[in-house]
Homo-oligomer: A and B are copies of this chain.
Amino acid sequence: MSDDRLATTPPPPYYAVIFASVRTAHDDEGYARAADRMAQLASEQPGYLGVDSVRDATGVGITVSYWSSEAAIVAWRRNAEHTITREQGRKSWYTQYELRVAKVERAYGFKL
């Protein structure tokens, strides 16, 4: 539903990209601008199903994006603007990250 605060995805199977990261203490503005742009650009890609993203006040964040297939993830990874932005991420915005590509096999939800 439109007032949901979490991504709504179709029944499995589909894919998830789990991106856990730790922000540097600088360039919040540049980071926020790039993050917004990447979220917009990702949402326009074929096979994009949705995203959940959280960052806490200590700088640790988890973003999980959902995709219809591995091919869709590979295509997004090869996107030129995305590739340039990832390079900036390693140079300026992250002290550490872990990225995992996973196939979602089961899913269920709860809502009041």
Contact = CB atoms under 8 A, between A and B. Distances in A.
Interface of A: 4-7, 9, 12, 16, 18, 20-22, 52-57, 60-62, 64, 70, 90, 94-112
A18 B63 CA distance: 11
Q: Which of A54, A95, A112 has most chain B Cβ within 10 Å?
A: A54
Contacts of A22: 5-6
A56 B43 CA distance: 22
Contacts of A56: 54-57
A54 B57 contact: no
Contact of A96 (B5, B54, B64): B5
A24 B107 CA distance: 22
17 contacts: A5-B22, A6-B21, A16-B100, A20-B52, A52-B98, A53-B62, A54-B54, A54-B62, A56-B56, A57-B57, A70-B105, A95-B112, A96-B112, A97-B109, A100-B106, A101-B106, A103-B105
